[in-house]
Amino acid sequence: MSSHSSKIRPSRSGKILLFLAIFLLFAAQNTGNNLLYLMSSCFFSCLLWSAVVSWRNISGLKIELLLPDFYFAGQRDTIRCRIEDLAGRPRFFLGFENDFAEFLPAGNFLMLKAEFEAIQRGNCKVSGFKVFSGYPVDLFICYCEISSADYFVGPKPAAQISEVFNRETGGAIARLLSGKEGDYWMQKPYQEGEDASLINWRISASSLTEWVLIRSVNFGLNRKLCFDFSGLSGQVFEDCLEVVAGLIIWLRKHDIDAFVWAMGKTGCYQWLSVVFDLPGLVVWLAQLQPGQTPFPLEADVEKLAFADLLKSRGQS
């Protein structure tokens, strides 16, 4: 994105000098003192020279705002600004938010950066960013207002996803008595009459109740995940999206190239890679609304229904 508009305004020092120039001009007219005329003319000339030099220093630049490929709510990230000289003259003392550069050679470019943070997921706008300069003597501030841009913010990844997915360290769960192996397991409280051999004693030891396995996501055999959000709304729906975002980040961090059934760039649902299609997954999570979503036709898919899980935990 390179669209911007340039503006100029006097700084505090420039306003003071302008006031003095006008004051001396009136004083010279009332007294007829040639020295006051000379001083007033020097002040006006200095202001005019500073305005022209300031404008030339900021004009003729190509400014591009480079947004991150994907972004999650609640995380501080960096926006980069690429500034390139197209007029063939050197530039001095350029600033972008809290980042500064003293010199830009003619015909070259430089990168400045600024931090930003979005609070909630959705389609947001980046606006209010400026490239500015007070060169040469800080009498005028010239700045370029960069046009706003749309970007998608995914849900804040859940830091702890053990409430929905439980993973045991040390491989103790890797060989359950049920014969299943995998990376993540959904757990639910044990109820009288259920198979006691499925009780996870290590997790149950740190809880007031016993927990049993109700679902296994086996990434060794099946790497296709389909999330079912039907029946959810409000904050519960948002919390489940955070869990999904946390799971996707965990898979990517551990180089597990799972595939998620999500809406792609064409607007149709398809399999998106956790490793290679993460920006598309973030856009999908940012736009997703409560309601029924289409499901894949394949049989070898792990379908994770959050409504059923929450009911089993008494959170419906």
User: Over the stretch 51-66, which tens digit does the pLDDT of each residue have?
Assistant: 999 999 999 999 999 9
Distances (CA, A) of 224 to 61, 119, 188, 248, 260: 48, 30, 23, 12, 6
Quickly count: other Cβ atoms within 10 Å of residue 199's Cβ: 18
What is the mean predicted confidence (pLDDT) over 190-212? 72
Place of tokens 């404008």: 55
Alpha carbons 171 and 178: distance in angstroms, whole number: 15
Alpha carbons 167 and 172: distance in angstroms, whole number: 10
Q: What is the pLDDT of residues 106-146, one digit of tens each?
A: 999 999 999 888 888 998 888 889 999 999 999 999 999 88
Alpha carbons 60 and 6: distance in angstroms, whole number: 10
- Per-residue pLDDT band for 299 (boundaries 50, 70, 90) equals confident
Q: Structure pTM?
A: 0.71
Alpha carbons 84 and 159: distance in angstroms, whole number: 40
Return the pLDDT at 182: 46
State whether residue 10 is helix, strand or coil: strand
Burial status of residue 244 (CB atoms within 10 A of its CB: 0-12, 13-18, 19 or more)? buried
Return the pLDDT at 314: 52
Q: What is the pLDDT of residues 146-193, one digit of tens each?
A: 888 888 999 999 876 544 444 443 332 233 233 334 444 566 677 776
- Per-residue pLDDT band for 297 (boundaries 50, 70, 90) equals confident
Nearest by Cα to 225 from 192, 191, 257: 257
